[in-house]
Structure 1
Amino acid sequence: MTTDSGASPHRPSLGITALGAYAPARVVSNADFEARLDTNAEWIESRTGIRERRFAAEDEYTSDVGVGAVRDLLSRDPEALREVDAVICATVSPDALMPSTAALIAMQVGLTGAAAFDLSTACSGFVYGLSVAQGLILAGTARRVLVVGAEALSKIVDQDDRNTAILFGDGAGAAVVGPVPAGYGFQQFVLGADGAGGSSLYLRCAAPRLPGGFEMGETVGMNGREVFKFAVRVLGDSGNEVLAKTGLKSSDVDWVVPHQANIRIIEAANERFGVPMSRTVVNVDRYGNTSSATVPLALREALDDGRIQDGQQLLLVAFGGGLSWAAGTMRWWAGAPSLSARAAAPAEVPA
């Protein structure tokens, strides 16, 4: 599925007008797994690129980390939520199936009464959310939309399963989508999913099995080999597709902001769409795979350290459970208070 976000005389330019991020205070290093898992710190880093990740506190859940990201956004721009009348939370680890985590976040940040719903496409959720947000605005349903990618994956991952425990961390990013000056903002999105690959990456809810009879366990399950092959292919293909739809070549891209699943996946995918690692934002080494939060966390970090500048061309690419994928192109606008560089890490404790 391709969505056209290009501005026209009758269609406003839309993009990110505010951005915040949050990472829990607890740092879990690779060495912390050595005592109970058949692994060591060097093996984890060599296979994944991950050195450490953040885990939420015992009484901290997805809505809490999501609120932390919104409060970080507000600390940078106190007026950022003005005119926001819809909230989307992309998450695979919601506090509850109902009420939605989006509604819980909205309640705590002063947006009671706004439309609010969760979006479940796992790691591709934030990019999906940006596309859905621009659709709501173009349809006249919303003026501005708050998109939150938030996860407390440590609550749903079996910490004794070496295949998954070493990969995932907790965190959140929050972005406001709204009008930006002409020539800036979203250009194209490519979204897709293939349920036939669902048995390669899953989390059980109401049903004990998937269509076709695949039996699911109680916690996150993953076939690492199949996910790796899928990820490399779909990141490369969706990245190339969205560039072609936008009329761009890989040489036109200033920065790729990919889903931070595994450094080997990122490197292999970059080869497929021809953008060097020197123009790729990577922070998987310090946060691990935070699913729907990885893209906004990486984007916020690259703004804070000054890498991403006004007018630069960005390519966002992600894949996740579903199996799903999402890619988007945008020309960055840095004209709002929260979109400039600031020498600060993501806030670590919600106010």
Structure 2
Amino acid sequence: MTTRIIGTGSYAPENRVTNDDLAKIMETSDEWIRTRTGISERHISSGEGTSFMAAEAAKQALEMAGVKAEELDIILLATSSPDKCFPSGACEVQAAIGAKNAVAFDLSAACSGFIFALNTVHSFFKSGIYKTGLIIGCDELSKLVDWSDRRTCVLFGDGAGAAVVKADETGIKHLIMGSDGVKGPVLECVSRTTENFLTKGHPQVGYMTMDGQEVFKFAVKKVPECIRQLLEETGVDKEEIKYFVLHQANYRIFESIAKRLDVSLDRFPMNIDRYGNTSGASIPLILDEMNREGKFEKGDKIIIAGFGAGLTWGATLMEW
């Protein structure tokens, strides 16, 4: 028994912020951003929180799957930007969609989050504990970036993507996950600081910081490595893979990964130009987009791969 995706959904805030819009509030330009990242615009929240966006994506996925919320056994929300420390965003989604029979909790693995959540639910299915699940990747990174730092703020957008999964005879074939906490500081966001009556200070909330060059080097090395490992361990040739669906981080990263794998860039679907880097939402968001455009056919082999803060990475081979 394995895990098959039977429905997808997505949500992005209505506000589209173009590179030209950003050029009005900081020293940057459309040309500067596009040539370095491939991003032209992104969706930015003006009040839609993480749990709201996640629930909207979940409703779409349930509708496509033809599954009622009360049929769900488990809900996992992969996010780095929950609305609250507690209750979890997954519990808030559970309440919003009426999934009264599901266990619900959040998972934090940054841009690798959706893959980690998918593989976690897959493990529950393999053990026979659960049979129907909802996996959501959602982030509202606009509240974590420093909008005066053009090196980071121009990269990110807000959004959500969701998938309903079912225990089935076909679906996930193999998976790989990894972490390197030693390199964690190259991409981090400090939480609320420890301040109380003993320290005499006031809590501070940090912004995201990133060593872009180190993240780039990590991504273009680790992603091809884990994809090759995935193919070797399954005996599948890369030419059998219809699409390589990667975390949408940077167009140049895609170019480098495609070159290292010696695979045509056409087999790496991208929507980063319209959404930017939406962290945990990026993979399920583009999966939903492709699914609704009819780009997947039964039996297609695809690899989804992500990389992000932690540092974390993962790849999953599945048959649609």
Map of 1:298 onto structure 2: 286
State the match for 1:188 in structure 2.
174
State the match for 1:233 in structure 2: 221
1:153 to 2:150 alignment: no
Q: Deviations over 1:130-174 (max 9, x none)?
A: 100011122233221111001111111111111111000011111
Q: Could you tell me which residue of structure 1 aligns to residue 85 of structure 2?
A: 97
Partner of 2:184: 198
**Alpha carbons 1:83, 1:143 under 8 Å: kept:** no
Q: Which residue of 2 aligns with 1:110?
A: 98
How far off is 1:274 after superposition? 2.8
Structure 2: 5+ residue runs without aligned partners? 195-203
- The letter of the residue matching 1:22 is Y
The partner residue of 2:41 within 47, 52, 57 is 52
2:13 matched residue in structure 1: 24
> Take 1:37 and 1:238, find their aligned partners in 2: how far apart are those partners?
38
CA distance in 2, matches of 1:34, 1:71: 36
Q: Judging changes above 3 Å, is the alpha-carbon distance between structure 1 residues 47 and 15 closer, same or farther for their aligned structure 2 residues?
A: same
Amino acid at match of 1:66: A
SS at match of 1:254: strand
Shift, 1:77, TM fit: 4.0
Q: Kindly provide the amino acid, as one letter, of the partner of residue 43 in structure 1.
A: W
Residue identity in the other structure for 2:40? R
Distance in 1, matches of 2:156 and 2:109, equals: 16
- Equivalent residue, structure 2, for 1:212: none
The answer for the alignment partner of 1:131 in structure 2 is 119
Q: Normalising to structure 1: TM-score of the pair?
A: 0.85
For 2:142 and 2:301, the matched residues in 1 are separated by 34
TM-score by length of 2: 0.93
> 1:272-320, CA deviations, whole angstroms, 9 ceiling, x for partnerless residues?
2232111111100000000011111111111222222221110111101
CA distance in 1, matches of 2:128, 2:5: 18
Matched, 1:36 2:22: no
* Equivalent residue, structure 2, for 1:5: none
With over 3 angstroms needed to count, the CA separation of the structure-2 counterparts of 1:287 and 1:40, relative to structure 1, is: same
Percent identity between the two aligned chains: 39
- Residues 1-351 of structure 1 mapped to structure 2, 5 A cutoff: 12-58=1-47, 60-79=48-67, 81=69, 83-180=71-168, 182=169, 184-206=170-192, 218-332=206-320
Q: CA deviation at 1:125?
A: 0.4
Higher helix share: 2
